[in-house]
Amino acid sequence: MNIEELRVLLIENSKDATEEFKRLFHGRGGLYDGFKYLTIDSIDKVLSVAFFAKDEDEEKLILMLQEFTISSRYKTLVVQRRYEKGSFGEVLVGELDENLYALENGMKLKLNLISNQNSYYFADMKNGRAFVRENAKDKRVLNLFSYTCAFSVAAKLGGALSVSNIDMSKGSLSIGKSNHSLNKIDPKGVSFLPYNILKSFSKIKQNSPYDLIIIDPPTFQRGSFEATKDYEKIVKKLSQISSDGAMVLACLNSTELDSEFIINLFKEFAPEFSFVRRLQNVSEFANLDEQKSLKNLLFSYSKLPEERS
């Protein structure tokens, strides 16, 4: 694929763009030779571009994107050079609203496109949040590694009885509170707990049992979590905090670990949980190898007969 072909694809993919967040181009899925370092998102009237590696044609590409923005529905073009440590997003066309948010199935989630790190919002988890929203009614929900609490917003909009958001980062939880406020969600029954999940099980257990548990950790975060050795520590304790019939949504976004990694952890360390299915990923995030893409795996808990008495 060359720059002109990319321009034509953007025109086609933006034809049905609305105020809702939409990924227009997902080069990181490996489907487009020459642009594996590039993502382009539609956020209402904002075109958001992220470069994950330096390319010799970057300036030519940016020029095309500027021309595309000016001639399209978009009013603003913002570029993040994620490969440059410490750099900030750059607004190249128009202006960027300080109170920018992504709209997803009518749900508002705060965005920060000026930061060169994560933008507060992981769009590829859309189907996971939809599942939680559709299955949260009257449920007690545990949201592990909650980050900015998008799952919690979805759960409460779906009628959850309560949600416990657990994350080490007080800053992320603060954004999570803002997300609830942005969606006019009654804070009653919602908690934001800055715990180290691996070291605070006794505190997490206090509010159990839970009817719906979400595990959405980073693949690797130095000093706090490493999926290859720490995921099993959570799986081992799930039966102690789950109600009979509870659902677990076990997530992992790793290019190195496939679905069998998680399924085998449950077989070995939590055999009371039955694997139900893997949620389908958002089509806009298609990957050349789907096992390298986001994995949202659903499990169901059934207590042993002796545990029910």
How many percent of the chain have pLDDT more than 70? Answer: 97
pLDDT at residue 25 tops 90:
yes
Is 24 in contact with 42 (CB distance < 8 Å)? yes
pLDDT at residue 306 tops 70:
no
CA-to-CA distance for 280 and 274, rounded, in angstroms? 18
- What six digits make up the tokens of 171? 């800053």
Question: Hey, which bits of the chain come out as E strands?
Answer: 22-26, 38-43, 46-51, 76-81, 90-93, 101-104, 107-110, 140-144, 162-166, 190-193, 210-215, 220-221, 225-226, 242-252, 273-278, 295-301
Q: What is the pLDDT of residues 72-87, one digit of tens each?
A: 999 999 999 999 988 8
CA-to-CA distance for 187 and 196, rounded, in angstroms? 23
Question: Which domains are assigned to the chain?
Answer: 3-110 (3.30.750.80), 123-308 (3.40.50.150)
Mean pLDDT of the 58-65 span: 96
Q: How does the average pLDDT of the chain come out, rounded?
A: 94
Q: Global pTM?
A: 0.94
Range with the lowest mean pLDDT among 14-28, 221-235, 254-268? 221-235
- What six digits make up the tokens of 254? 């790793």
pLDDT given for residue 307 in this prediction: 60
pLDDT given for residue 304 in this prediction: 64
Q: What is the pLDDT of residues 175-212, one digit of tens each?
A: 999 999 999 999 899 999 999 999 999 999 999 999 99
Q: What is the pLDDT of residues 117-131, one digit of tens each?
A: 789 999 999 999 999
If pLDDT is split at 50, 70 and 90, which confidence band does 105 have?
very high
